[in-house]
Structure 1
Amino acid sequence: MDPSVDLWIRLACEFIGTAILIIIGNGTVANVHLKGSKGYRGGWSLIAMGYGLGVMIPAMMFGGISGNHINPAFTLGLAVWGLFPWHLVPLYWLAQVLGAMAGQLAIVVTHKPYYDRTDNPEDVLATFSTINSAHSRRNGFLSETLGSVILFSCALALVNSPLMREEQGVAHLGIGFLVWALVVGLGGPTGPALNPARDLGPRLVHQLLPTSVLHAKGGSDWRYGWVPVAAPLLGGLLGVGGWHLLLG
């Protein structure tokens, strides 16, 4: 983060960066899950690549401006361990959640003909938010926590590595590949979210949209919806803390 940059610009970067993450990431999910799309049933590898690139691109754009948190769990973890000012946490969180909602609305607008052709409510919900494959909140919580710990600790290790300190662009490139690897390696159980804004913002959009927009809407699954919020927050505390105590 560059504190010399105006706060509103940093918040705009968080908003835009999170929107880009959702447009590319959930856009790839929509491409795979919605009938009639050219990527229909394109497979998990396509989704993993989409999310890796969805994190990598805003990281390389905004990493030197806002820090490119684009994730409330990362913002909280940094603040708890004294690496980010507490008074900015609510503002970053608001920008991130609103960015996620804006990105999801862009997907709905551009993919409306394919939502109209899709009859399975679970396929529709998957383009908004995460679903545990075993329909287990316990399994989802464990999977999301583990993935988040790895994400935040490894991301900080990459950015602060002696090999990368003078090559921050390469470090942020590595973060994209890290997310790609996490979705491939740990994505089977939940999706995964690894990010409260990535799940909560689009799930709120799903809840608020009428059936005239999503005719196969179904429920928004709030019984599970707390898991991809709480687990990454815990993972942020553990992941950032683990890196800070060992190498910070």
Structure 2
Amino acid sequence: MHPMLSEFIGTALLVLFGNGVVANVCLKKTKGNDSGWIVVAAGWGIAVYIGAFCSDAFSGAHLNPAVSIAMLVGGKLSLVDTAVYIVGQMGGAMFGAVLVYLFYREHFRATDDVDAKLACFCTAPAIRDNKQAFFCEALGTFALILPIFLMVTPSFISGDAPVDPAPVLGLGSIGLLPVGLLVFGIGLSLGGTTGYAINPARDLGPRIIHALIPMSGKRDSDWGYSWVPVIGPIVGAVVAAFLYRLIA
């Protein structure tokens, strides 16, 4: 399977299960309505596990532009391949968001809370302070990328020549469950401030879909905040990649 298609499928599954659990908790008249933050965090951990499990053998299961950019910084992914990965990730995130909307369409109609509807697509800060939210997204992504790098083959990010990303990232060598547990832990420990996007595609792709879908009773797509869950994770990932190269 081509890496772009692999990343598309894996990211679509990631968003389907991840934003799906948010919709199940936030929207009215669902079986999971108001079931709480632990359900959301657990659902996102499982979403990462499923998306990564389905794409690891073909693309290395980046599913996240921050991961791909960190690999680029580490010299293990070319600029062209990084762009290919990000296109697949963005397309998959948007497709996954459409599926969530179609699946919960009647519950979107039954929900009056416009912020709850938006939350089923993208993140927002609990306290509106973009500088602090930027720090939280950067640190949360740092806490994602550095442990992943430390889990996999010790030398995977050292060296100069780009190589095939699937064996380089090497998630299969540790099993994919630790990565899902890592995201579960980030959600429980660091997710309460911004909703822990920690993934530009996961946030921006569905946010675009929210803006485009002709859904009644929706608010604006909060574009004034939208740069935070895009730039913050990229910065956190780049810092993690440079730090790994210093300590590994």
Output the TM-score relative to the length of structure 1: 0.91
For 1:192 and 1:184, locate their aligned partners in 2 and report how far apart those are by CA, in whole Å.
Answer: 10
Shift of 1:215: 1.7
Shift of 1:169: 5.5
Quick check: 2:60–2:170 contact (8 Å CA) kept in 1?
no
Asked whether 1:142 is paired with 2:146, we answer no
Report the counterpart of residue 69 of structure 1 in structure 2.
62
The correspondence of residues 22-37 of structure 1 with structure 2, limited to 5 A, is 22-37=15-30
Shift of 1:135: 1.3
Asked whether 1:82 is paired with 2:75, we answer yes
Asked whether 1:201 is paired with 2:205, we answer yes
How many residue pairs match? The answer is 235
- Aligned residue for 1:51, secondary structure, equals helix
Report the counterpart of residue 122 of structure 2 in structure 1.
129
- Aligned residue for 2:57, secondary structure, equals coil
Identity %: 37
For 1:228 and 1:86, locate their aligned partners in 2 and report how far apart those are by CA, in whole Å.
Answer: 22
For 1:60 and 1:28, locate their aligned partners in 2 and report how far apart those are by CA, in whole Å.
Answer: 19
For 1:166 and 1:86, locate their aligned partners in 2 and report how far apart those are by CA, in whole Å.
Answer: 20
Asked whether 1:91 is paired with 2:84, we answer yes
Could you tell me which amino acid in structure 1 is paired with residue 26 of structure 2? H
Output the TM-score relative to the length of structure 2: 0.91
Asked whether 1:104 is paired with 2:97, we answer yes
For 1:70 and 1:186, locate their aligned partners in 2 and report how far apart those are by CA, in whole Å.
Answer: 20
Closer/same/farther in 2, CA of residues 186 and 166 from structure 1, 3 Å limit: closer
Which of these residues, 185, 192, 208, is aligned with residue 189 of structure 2? 185
Closer/same/farther in 2, CA of residues 167 and 237 from structure 1, 3 Å limit: closer
Shift of 1:166: 9.5
Report the counterpart of residue 232 of structure 2 in structure 1.
231
Quick check: 1:60–1:169 contact (8 Å CA) kept in 2?
no
Which of these residues, 170, 173, 181, is aligned with residue 177 of structure 2? 173
Could you tell me which amino acid in structure 2 is paired with residue 216 of structure 1? G
Quick check: 2:121–2:210 contact (8 Å CA) kept in 1?
yes
In structure 1, the gaps of 5 or more residues are 1-5
List per-residue Cα deviations over 1:44-95 (Å, max 9, x = no partner). Answer: 0000011101111222232232011110111111102212122111111111
Could you tell me which amino acid in structure 1 is paired with residue 75 of structure 2? G
Quick check: 1:124–1:216 contact (8 Å CA) kept in 2?
no
Could you tell me which amino acid in structure 2 is paired with residue 179 of structure 1? V
Shift of 1:97: 0.4
Which of these residues, 31, 41, 46, is aligned with residue 34 of structure 2? 41
Shift of 1:167: 8.6
Could you tell me which amino acid in structure 1 is paired with residue 107 of structure 2? Y
For 2:129 and 2:205, locate their aligned partners in 1 and report how far apart those are by CA, in whole Å.
Answer: 22
Quick check: 2:27–2:116 contact (8 Å CA) kept in 1?
yes
For 2:122 and 2:137, locate their aligned partners in 1 and report how far apart those are by CA, in whole Å.
Answer: 13
Aligned residues: CA RMSD: 1.7
Shift of 1:134: 0.2
